[in-house]
Structure 1
Amino acid sequence: MDAVTCHYCGARSLIDRGKKPTTAPIPQGMHVVRVAPPSGNAAFTVAGVVAGMMVISAIAGSLAFSRSGASSAAGARPLLAAGPSMYFDDRPMIADVNGDGAPDVIGKSSIPAREAWIGAYDGRDGKPIWKTAVLAKDAMTHEAKRAVVLGRVISVDALGKAQAYDLRTGNPSWSVLLGEKARRVCQGDGVIVVETVDDAKHGLDPASGARRALAKDAACKPVPSSNADEAPGYKLIGWSDFDKHGLPALHGIEGMTAHHALVPSGPGPRFMLGRRSKGSQVKMVAAVDRKKVLWKDVVPGVDPLTTKVMGSEDAAHEGGLLVVPYDMKDHGQGTRLACFDGGTGKRLWDVQIHKRSQVSHGIATSADSVFYATWTALYVFSLKTGELRYTIGTEF
Structure 2
Amino acid sequence: MARIVDPRCPRCGAPLPVQPGMDAVTCQYCGARSLIDRGRKPTTAPIPQGMHVVRVAPPSSNAAFTVAGAVAGMTVIGGIAGFLALGPSGGAGAGARPLLGVGPSAYFGDRPMIADVNGDGAPDVIGKSSIPAREEWIGAYDGRDGKPLWKTAVLAKDATTHEAKRAVVLGRVISVDALGKAQAYDLRTGKPSWSAPLGEKARRICQGDGVIVVETVDDAKHGLDPASGARRALAKDAACTPVPSSNEGEAPGYQIVSWSRFEALGLPRASGIEGMSADRALVPSGPGPRFLLGRRNKGSSVGMVAAVEKTKVLWKTVVPGVDPLTTRASGVDEAAYEGGLLVVPYDMKDHGEGTRLACFDGATGKRLWDVQIHKRSQVSYGLSTSANDVFYATWTSLYVFSLKTGELRYTIGTEF
* Range of TM-score over shorter length: 0.7 to 0.9
Report what 2:316 is aligned to.
Answer: 296
Instruction: Give the Cα separation in 2 of the matches to 1:81 and 1:272.
Output: 47
Residue matched to 1:38 = none
Per-residue CA deviation, residues 63-82 of structure 1 (Å, 9 max, x unaligned), is 642279xxxxxxxxxxx995
Q: State which of 14, 27, 48 in structure 2 corresponds to 1:6.
A: 27
Q: Name which of 230, 234, 237 aligns with 1:214.
A: 234
- Give yes or no for the alignment of 1:321 onto 2:321: no
Question: Does structure 1 residue 122 correspond to structure 2 residue 138?
Answer: no
Q: Normalising by the residue count of structure 1, what TM-score does the alignment of the two structures yield?
A: 0.86
Give the structure 2 partner of residue 259 of structure 1: 279
Q: Within 2, Cα distance between the matches of 1:245 and 1:232?
A: 18
Q: Which residue of 1 aligns with 2:247?
A: 227
SS of match in other structure, 1:343: coil
Match of 2:121 among 85, 94, 101: 101
Q: How far did 1:25 drift? A: 8.9
Cα distance change of structure 1 residues 188 and 50 upon mapping to structure 2, 3 Å threshold? farther
Q: Which amino acid aligns with 1:204?
A: L
Residues 81 and 394 of structure 1 are in contact (CA less than 8 Å); yes or no, is this contact kept in structure 2?
no
* Displacement after TM superposition at 1:256 (Å): 0.1
Does residue 388 of structure 2 align to residue 368 of structure 1?
A: yes
Q: 1:24 and 1:275 mapped to 2: Cα distance? A: 47
Per-residue CA shift, 1:162-194, capped at 9, x if unaligned? 000000000000001111110000000000000
- How many aligned positions are there? 363
Partner of 1:269: 289
1:154 partner letter? I
Correspondence 1:162 to 2:178 = no
Q: Return the offset for 1:103.
A: 0.4
RMSD value, Cα: 2.6
Higher relative contact order (CA 8 A, sep 6+): 1
Unaligned 5+ residue runs, structure 1? 36-47, 69-79
User: 68, 71, 81: which is aligned to 1:65?
Assistant: 81
Amino acid at match of 1:198: D
Using a 3 Å threshold, how does the CA distance of structure 1 residues 283 and 9 change in structure 2: closer, same or farther? closer
Query: By how many angstroms is 1:330 displaced?
Result: 1.2
Matched residue SS, 1:305 = helix
Contact 1:15 1:51 in 2 (8 A): no
Output the amino acid matched with 1:380: V
Matched, 1:309 2:329: yes
Q: 1:199 to 1:23 in 2, by over 3 A?
A: same
SS of 1:118's partner is strand
- Cα 1:112/1:25, change in 2 over 3 Å: closer
Match for residue 341 of structure 1? 361
Alpha carbons 1:87, 1:111 under 8 Å: kept: yes
Does the 8 Å CA contact 1:94/1:104 hold for their aligned counterparts?
yes
In structure 2, the residue matched to 1:250 is 270
1:296-325 Cα distance to aligned partner (Å, 9 max, x none)? 000000100000132761000000100000
- 1:37-60 CA distance string (max 9 Å, x none): xxxxxxxxxxx998449x99xx89
Per the alignment, residue 87 of structure 1 pairs with 107
Q: Which residue of 1 aligns with 2:198?
A: 178
Q: Distance in 2 between matches of 1:324 and 1:166?
A: 32
Change (3 A) 1:81 1:88: farther
Deviations 1:247-283 (A, max 9, x none): 0111010000000000000000000000000000000
| CA distance, structure 2, for counterparts of residue 85 and residue 23 of structure 1 | 32
- Show the counterpart of 2:170: 150
Q: Give how far 1:23 is off.
A: 5.1
CA distance in 2, matches of 1:25, 1:384: 54
Q: Does the C-alpha gap of structure 1 residues 112 and 326 become closer, same or farther in structure 2, counting only changes over 3 Å?
A: same
Helix, strand or coil: the match of 2:334? coil
- 1:190 paired residue number: 210
Q: Distance in 1 between matches of 2:297 and 2:223?
A: 45
Q: Which residue of 1 aligns with 2:407?
A: 387
Contact 1:14–1:31 (CA under 8 A) maintained in structure 2: no
Verify the 8 A CA contact 1:339 1:350 in the aligned structure 2: yes
CA distance in 2, matches of 1:219, 1:230: 15
Shift of 1:368: 0.2
Are residue 241 (structure 1) and residue 241 (structure 2) matched? no
Q: Which digits, 9 at most, give the CA deviation of each residue in 1:207-230, with x for residues without a partner?
A: 000000001111110000012200
Contact 1:15 1:32 in 2 (8 A): no
Output the CA distance in 2 between the equivalents of 1:139 and 1:110.
Answer: 12
Distance across 2 between alignment mates of 1:366 and 1:297: 24
**CA distance 1:50–1:298, change in 2 (3 Å):** farther
- Report sequence identity in percent: 78
* TM-score (ref. length: structure 2): 0.82
Q: Which 5+ residue runs of structure 2 have no aligned equivalent? A: 1-6, 8-22, 55-66, 85-99
Tell whether the 8 Å contact from 1:34 to 1:51 is kept in structure 2 after alignment: no
Contact 2:295 2:331 in 1 (8 A): no
Q: What's the counterpart of residue 51 of structure 2?
A: 32
User: How big is the shift at 1:333?
Assistant: 1.1
2-side partners of 1:237 and 1:211: how far apart? 31
